[in-house]
Structure 1
Amino acid sequence: MEFRYLPMTDGDKAEMLKTIGVESTEELFSDIPKKVRFDRELDLKKPTSEFELKNELAAMAAKNKNSIDNTSFLGAGVYDHFIPSVVDHVISRSEFYTAYTPYQPEISQGELQAIFEFQTMICELTGMPVANSSMYDGGTSLAEAVNLSAAHTKKKKVIVSKAVHPESRAVIHSYVTGPGLEIVEIDHKDGVTDLEQLAKELDENTASVVIQYPNFFGQIEPMDKIKELIDTQKKAMFLVSSNPLALGYMTPPSEFGADIVVGDAQVFGIPAQFGGPHCGYFATTEKLMRKVPGRLVGETVDEEGVRGYVLTLQAREQHIRRDKATSNICSNQALNALASSVAMSSLGKNGVIDMAKLNMQKARYAKDQIAKAGIKVTYEGSFFNEFVIELNKPVSEVNDQLIEKGIIGGYDLGFYYPELKNHMLVAVTEIRTKDQIDAFVKELGDING
């Protein structure tokens, strides 16, 4: 039998038990009540060879539906985008693949430079002057922004639009239990945040307002009007969650007076891979940079005048200040941040703009063709690369039939929004071809009836 690991033998077990002074495994776990212990053997298959095991796992994996063998129109926060081949070549290098937090700059210049370039590109996309070295994902980045806003304003009320990704809102609710913040959710109206309800909820106790741009339905929020309402309560902060690819074309949140801009860099160089890992970004104003969670990398020169990179403003961090730190994030998604950096660098400034335009153009073509097929498009406002349609049947039923045709359908909005039963969120990215879109529309029309 072949092994890639060394299994524990009975002799190994006896030696370990002797070392810690117990005679049996039963004695080792004696403090745990028997009624909560597993009292039988695990129902496992018999051991097999590595070759047989690989074949079995490969057969199981083949049951999954992926976006390589199927055409995907599923988005809702995780997207099927073009990834330049150079991305995998760079992130597979051992000096990056095995890197950890670069505390020693003299031996970490490559890693530090890569993070610095990530920060720089995020600043260019968002229009903000400061960005950190990355977060776990867009949802946790947004939740960190909410907590920061409460700590900065010393207020407890945070207004969150229901057009913000439902999973990000769930993360926010989890994060705010510690500081005891009040989360007030604002309804959506015609696919965007209900401004009348927002105006009613804004008061002197509001720490911040959270908006997604483009929002979860793909719609473009009226950012100027929202900022105008926030300014009536001048001490409330404006937090924006943005798809960074969309910012390649759209007006950056900084121009609408955003205080913090966060989001997920999965759209640049990171595959869907069953929902993770991702790479969150966090950008803000210079006024808040000492309160930013995560790492900050800065550029400097050594004693010989040679350019170098270092971790900076470390007095904010938990390995120095412990309970006074801005966040308990003790590492970052540096490898995924590197993937995003390589992808953005490969595309270049004009490439990112062109990629964003293709998403918009192809999504509009799909929307027009779906409407011509007699399927209702729910919202008619401006959008990026996602839009909502209403079907005559449950979305799950439609998607089950689409997958039989080799098509991964859109997201079932009824899962989080009961009022949007039978509504599908369709995502169209730059890699979808005209033939794929036409095939999707035809099958969708036939199934919908």
Structure 2
Amino acid sequence: MLKHRYLPLTEQDREEMLAVIGVDSVDALFKDIPDDLRYQGTLPVSPQLDEYALTRHMSILAARNADTDRYVSFLGAGIYDHHIPSVIGHVTSRSEFYTAYTPYQPEISQGELQAIFEFQSYICELTGLKVANASMYDGATAIAEAGSLAASATRRKKLVVSRTVHPEARQVLATYAHGLNLDIVEVGWSEGVTDIEALTAAVTKDTAAVLVQNPNFFGAIEDIEGMAKLIHEHGGLMIVSSNPLSLGLLEAPGKLGADIVVGDAQPLGISPSFGGPTCGFFAVSEAYMRRIPGRIVGQTVDRNGKRGFVLTLQAREQHIRREKATSNICSNQALLALTASVYMSVMGKQGMAEVAELNLQKCHYAKERLASIPGVSLAFDAPVFNEFVIHLPENTDMKKLQTRLLEAGFIGGYELGRSYSELSAHMLVAVTEKRTKAEIDQFASLLEESL
């Protein structure tokens, strides 16, 4: 039997459907739309193509992209070029996972529920907290949901967020805050990390939470323990957005005083895919487990004592009934959460630590190498993980520089002037375990020649 990848529509099919509807043509379906509002003429697209021609055409279009298979990437800023073990594709492409939607009927979704339960367990191990949910849309919505939870739990309206948090995540947080009538107070940085004096001045008895990122957007390591103590003295919550791979080396935020730990699981075996989709994670201390957004899978036994998995603590209807919902999160990123779970299970504790160590060592080699270029300096002195900021000569034409790097087969770092006006001649450089010494040296040489 011939199987189609899609359902073709023949002229006979079209005529039969129009006959059932009772109209003579497709145009008749749109007769209520005034002619001056309708597109007149033929759309400027190519004529229809057969499967081979279409596949070839799409391949040519795709080849225009600067992907990380053909280019050496030093671009991070939230999406990273990490090694993805081949076993991940073999597991996640299995049809029972690849085509599964969020489980409505747990009794017939045991495999899916077990995979989610394992994801939650891994996240709890990484973050040092007791409870994790079945994943979020991405890291940005996760930190915004954390702010919402903190405001609800403390019954306070003020959120203090560091400007070292990813700019796009802060934008998402601001959007949530607007709808919830929350006040956002942003504090600046000193030497690449949150300015503690400014933070101390901003935190009051009305503050629901302090929100920071670690490593932060500049790649620097924040003083989580000190900030947690500060906000707890005022009765608020400590929210940390973490790079999960960094937790192979850094202490778990939950053990440093964080009440909520969120982040994006993209570094855990998820392809950059030109920016998404990714998978957010969300973990809380036990006190807030009934306020956690999204869904939680629990482990139990049936009446015969056999192990099983169920959706627990929250009913799906809670998220359908807006007035009773804890958040806007309904579905979870199950396939991408599975990807992260496979990555963590394949790597294990030792593997996670070794990959994190490679990121750290290679980053520091690149940091020293680039800082040796005449006219280039390090912007900050703070310790970093796998990203750092370099200061280029003020007259640097960033667009021209990036174009020259791209022509040589390199994707340059993120231009910080796009998000921070005061950092117009700065570049955020990311170095992962995939980068070799030769690549780093060549990148440095190209940068020096271009400047």
TM-score per shorter chain, which class?
A: over 0.9
Match of residue 407 from structure 1? 410
The whole-number CA distance in structure 1 between the counterparts of 2:320 and 2:253 is: 33
Tell me the distance in 2 between the aligned counterparts of 1:231 and 1:314: 28
Structure 2: any 5+ residue segments left out of the alignment? none
Residues 11-22 of structure 1 aligned to structure 2 (within 5 Å):
11-22=12-23
Q: Displacement of 1:332 after TM fit?
A: 0.8
Instruction: Choose from 409, 422, 426 the match for 1:423.
Output: 426
Q: 2:72 is matched with which residue?
A: 71
| Conserved? CA contact 2:220–2:388, under 8 Å | yes
Which residue does 2:268 correspond to in 1?
268
Aligned letter for 1:441? A
Q: 1:42 to 1:316 in 2, by over 3 A?
A: closer
- Which shows bigger deviation, 425-434 or 174-183? 174-183
Q: Give the equivalent residue in structure 2 for 1:184.
A: 185
Q: Equivalent residue of 1:349, what SS?
A: helix
1:256 deviates by: 2.3
The answer to whether the 8 Å contact 1:113/1:309 transfers is: yes
Secondary structure in structure 2 of the residue aligned to 1:238: strand
Q: What is the rounded CA distance, in whole Å, between the counterparts of 1:306 and 1:422 in structure 2?
A: 61
Give the superposition deviation at 1:255.
Answer: 2.1
- Which residue in 2 is equivalent to 1:89? 90
Which shifted more, 417-426 or 177-186?
A: 177-186
Q: Deviations over 1:359-395 (max 9, x none)?
A: 1111001111112223211111111110000112133
Provide the C-alpha distance between the structure 1 equivalents of 2:232 and 2:327, rounded to a whole number of angstroms.
Answer: 28
Identical amino acids, percent of aligned pairs: 55
Deviation at 1:145, TM superposition (A): 0.9
Equivalences for residues 29-428 of structure 1 within 5 A? 29-234=30-235, 236-315=236-315, 318=318, 323-374=323-374, 375-392=376-393, 393-428=396-431
- Alpha-carbon spacing, 1:188–1:137, altered in 2? closer, same or farther (3 Å): same
State the 1:228 CA deviation: 2.9
Give me the CA root mean square deviation.
1.8
For residue 132 of structure 1, what is the amino acid of its counterpart? Answer: N
| SS in structure 2 at match of 1:389 | strand
Q: Aligned-pair distance for 1:7?
A: 4.3
Could you tell which deviates more after superposition, 288-297 or 318-327? 318-327
* TM-aligned CA distance change 1:53 to 1:129, over 3 Å: same
Give the SS at the match of 1:183.
strand
Distance across 2 between alignment mates of 1:442 and 1:267: 28
- Contact preservation (8 Å) 1:395, 1:424: no
TM superposition shift of 1:267: 0.4
Deviation of 1:18 (Å):
4.4
Whole-angstrom CA distance in 2 between matches of 1:44 and 1:6: 21
Q: Which stretch has the larger CA shift, 420-429 or 223-232? A: 223-232
Partners of 1:336 and 1:429 lie apart in 2 by 21
Gaps of 5+ in 1: none
Q: CA deviation at 1:245?
A: 0.5
Aligned residue type for 1:245: L
Instruction: Say which SS state the counterpart of residue 212 (structure 1) adopts.
Output: strand
Spell out, residue by residue over 1:390-417, the C-alpha distance to the aligned partner (whole angstroms, 9 max, x if none).
1121333221111111111111101011
Query: Given the superposition, is the C-alpha separation of residues 143 and 317 from structure 1 closer, same or farther in structure 2, using an over 3 Å criterion?
Result: farther
**CA offsets, 1:110-166, max 9 Å, x none?**
111111111011111100110001011100111111111111122221111111001
Structure 2 CA distance for partners of 1:380 and 1:119, relative to 1, 3 Å: same
Contact 2:415–2:427 under 8 Å retained in 1: yes
Contact 2:319 2:327 in 1 (8 A): no
Distance in 1, matches of 2:32 and 2:286, equals 54
Q: 2:438 aligns with which of 418, 435, 438?
A: 435
Structure 1 distance, partners of 2:348, 2:336, is 18
Structure 1 pair 147/31, CA: closer, same or farther in 2 (3 Å)?
farther
Equivalent position to 1:447, from 419, 433, 450: 450
Q: Deviations over 1:205-247 (max 9, x none)?
A: 211111001100001112232223213422x211110001111
1:158 aligned counterpart, secondary structure: strand
CA contact (8 A) 2:146 2:260 kept: yes
What CA distance in whole angstroms lies between the structure 2 residues aligned with 1:396 and 1:161? 28
C-alpha deviation, 1:4, in angstroms:
5.3
Cα deviations by residue, 1:236-277 (Å, 9 ceiling, x for unpaired): 211110001111111111122111100001101101011111
Does the CA-based 8 Å contact 2:316-2:330 persist in structure 1? no
Deviation at 1:352, TM superposition (A): 0.3
Is 1:314–1:320's contact at 8 Å kept on the other side of the alignment?
A: no
Q: Secondary structure at the match of 1:282?
A: strand
Where 1:332 maps in the other structure, the secondary structure is coil
User: In the aligned structure 2, how far is the partner of 1:415 from the partner of 1:307?
Assistant: 52
8 A contact 2:164–2:212 mirrored in 1: yes
AA aligned to 1:180 is N
- Partner Cα distance (1:428, 1:288) in 2: 36
Cα distance in 1, alignment partners of residues 365 and 7 from structure 2: 57
Query: What TM-score do you get using the length of structure 1 for normalisation?
Result: 0.94
Query: Is the 2:264–2:278 contact (alpha carbons within 8 Å) kept by the matching residues of 1?
Result: yes
Bigger mean CA offset, 400-409 vs 4-13 = 4-13
Distance 1:319 1:363, change over 3 A: closer
Aligned partner of residue 336 in structure 1, secondary structure: helix
Aligned residue type for 2:326:
T
Equivalent AA in structure 2 for residue 373 of structure 1: I
